[in-house]
């Protein structure tokens, strides 16, 4: 059996061959997206042409090559694309073809089946993606320093031989002229450019280059100036104590040059210690390291932006304070499951300190075996799940857990008759 080698000039290869057929690794390593091939034979059957021309490339074609059969009882080759027959050859010397009229950037599976005269057959399979040839997208400019920007973009082509990068400038932000051009290697997706002048506006353009392909348009970034890149102080810092004795911080990012934010905490207003570093553009953080503090302690927080390229910091934000004793409610999760008689069963949650039910009306079930889950925020104290069954033979099983997944109480549907009261305690 002969190995099927799909040589897509611009493809991603995913190979699987039926045992015992394996593609020769040495041959496979020589396959490249810029391979040069031999002459072309136009013995076409449908869209599949025998042989191919080294000068022809595109997004709608795949070139295939395989080792010719040396079997004496060779009968015929049959080539399938996605299980559709696209070529049949009874000449064992045929060893290549081009499949055309394909869709750009699409995955196809090819099968080459070699039949012998005794009707025995062997199959090689290969999956290949046709090439993509579209302009780059999402060209963005990020300031690294007041004189340095990073360009990033999404590569949407497989066939570019190079990338033309253009820099334009303007004194008024709308009438631009080209001042620099660079040629980048194919598949590049980022570049840093410096030497920005004050009081000038800039924009960048990208264009894929391959003279063998249809010309693509140049895409441009939004315009900007060096004044757009600032390392300002974060504002609107707030601190809130959540149900787990953790402190939730939030702030407004007021800077375009930060590479990180540094967060500091103090138990008084004199000795602040850095407790965290978070990435650029981050606007929230949860301080989970609070177990050393007691209820009633006051914690103070401040934050500043940092630029790793210049080593500079912004000024500190305003200080936010929070009292640990502000923690009130804790999260618990109640899951209940009724038996085959939903109309008989109902339930509620009772605050044992106040004697009041949590739900205004008892919870009921609408179907046999229904599962209900309720997430509640409760103050520390004693509670109970109260289960009712109108027939008197139980009917609800359930479990109550806290946010750490500790089981506070659980019960089976036969643990009560007409009424069951299952107590649990919410505590810090």
pLDDT: is 251 or 294 the higher one? 251
Stated length of the chain? 428
Of 89, 7, 13, nearest in space to 46 by CA: 89
Residue 168 to residue 8: CA distance in whole angstroms: 37
Q: Does the pLDDT value for residue 30 go beyond 60?
A: no
CB distance 205 to 165 below 8 Å:
yes
CA–CA distances in Å: residue 378 to residues 199, 373, 382, 410: 58, 15, 10, 18
pLDDT: is 65 or 373 the higher one? 373
Domains for the chain: give ranges and CATH numbers: 4-129 (2.60.40.10), 137-228 (2.60.40.10), 235-326 (2.60.40.10), 330-426 (2.60.40)
The mean pLDDT value for 172-177 works out to 91
Residue 319 to residue 300: CA distance in whole angstroms: 6
pLDDT: is 428 or 167 the higher one? 167
Residue 100 to residue 109: CA distance in whole angstroms: 14
Q: Does the pLDDT value for residue 155 go beyond 90?
A: yes
Q: State the pLDDT at residue 243.
A: 61
Tokens of 260: 């990180």
Q: State the pLDDT at residue 16.
A: 32
CB distance 150 to 122 below 8 Å:
no
Residue 21 to residue 27: CA distance in whole angstroms: 14
Q: State the pLDDT at residue 326.
A: 53
User: Minimum mean pLDDT among 43-47, 156-160, 365-369, 393-397: which range?
Assistant: 43-47
Q: State the pLDDT at residue 384.
A: 97
Residue 319 to residue 397: CA distance in whole angstroms: 49
Mean pLDDT (the chain, rounded): 83
* Omega before residue 46 within 30° of 0, cis: no
For residue 244, name the pLDDT band (cuts at 50, 70, 90): low
Q: State the pLDDT at residue 427.
A: 83
CA–CA distances in Å: residue 167 to residues 134, 180, 183, 204, 235: 21, 5, 12, 5, 34
Report the range out of 20-34, 41-55, 110-124, 311-325 with the highest average pLDDT.
311-325
Residue 349 to residue 16: CA distance in whole angstroms: 59
User: Minimum mean pLDDT among 1-10, 167-176, 308-317, 355-364: which range?
Assistant: 1-10
Q: State the pLDDT at residue 25.
A: 25
Tokens of 272: 């602040």
Residue 106 to residue 31: CA distance in whole angstroms: 20
């Amino acid at each position: 059996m002969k190995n099927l080698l799909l040589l897509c000039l611009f493809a991603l290869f995913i190979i699987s061959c039926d045992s015992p057929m394996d593609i020769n690794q040495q041959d496979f390593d020589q396959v490249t997206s810029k391979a040069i091939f031999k002459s072309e034979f136009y013995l076409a059957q449908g869209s599949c042409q025998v042989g191919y021309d080294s000068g022809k490339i595109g997004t709608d074609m795949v070139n295939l090559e395989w080792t010719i059969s040396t079997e004496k009882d060779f009968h015929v080759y049959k080539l399938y694309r996605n299980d559709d027959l696209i070529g049949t050859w009874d000449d064992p010397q045929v060893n290549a073809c081009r499949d055309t009229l394909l869709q750009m950037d699409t995955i196809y599976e090819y099968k080459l089946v070699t039949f012998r005269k005794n009707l025995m057959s062997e199959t090689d399979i290969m999956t290949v993606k046709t090439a993509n040839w579209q302009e780059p997208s999402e060209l963005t400019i990020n300031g690294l320093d007041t004189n340095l920007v990073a360009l990033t973009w999404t590569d949407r082509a497989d066939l570019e031989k190079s990338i033309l990068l253009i820099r334009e400038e303007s004194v008024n932000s709308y009438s631009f002229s080209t001042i620099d051009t660079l040629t980048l290697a194919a598949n590049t997706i980022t570049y840093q450019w410096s030497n920005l002048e004050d009081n000038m506006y800039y924009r960048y353009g990208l264009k894929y280059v391959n003279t063998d392909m249809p010309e693509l348009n140049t895409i441009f970034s939004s315009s900007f100036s060096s004044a757009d890149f600032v390392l300002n102080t974060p504002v609107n810092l707030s601190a809130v104590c959540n149900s787990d004795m953790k402190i939730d911080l939030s702030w407004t990012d007021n800077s375009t040059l930060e590479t990180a934010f540094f967060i500091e905490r103090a138990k008084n207003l004199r000795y602040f210690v850095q407790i965290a570093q978070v990435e650029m553009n981050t606007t929230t953080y949860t301080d989970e390291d609070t177990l050393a503090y007691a209820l009633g302690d006051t914690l103070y927080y401040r934050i500043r932006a940092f630029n790793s390229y210049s080593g500079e910091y912004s000024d500190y934000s305003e200080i936010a304070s929070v009292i640990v004793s502000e923690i009130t409610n804790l999260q618990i999760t109640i899951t209940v499951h009724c038996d085959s008689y939903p109309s008989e069963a109902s339930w509620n949650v009772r605050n044992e300190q106040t004697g009041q039910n949590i739900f205004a009306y008892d919870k009921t079930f609408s179907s046999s075996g229904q599962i209900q889950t309720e997430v509640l925020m409760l103050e520390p104290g004693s509670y109970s799940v109260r289960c009712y069954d109108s027939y008197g033979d139980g009917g609800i099983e359930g479990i109550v857990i806290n946010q750490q997944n500790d089981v506070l109480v659980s019960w089976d549907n036969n643990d009560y008759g007409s009424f069951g009261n299952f107590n649990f305690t919410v505590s810090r």
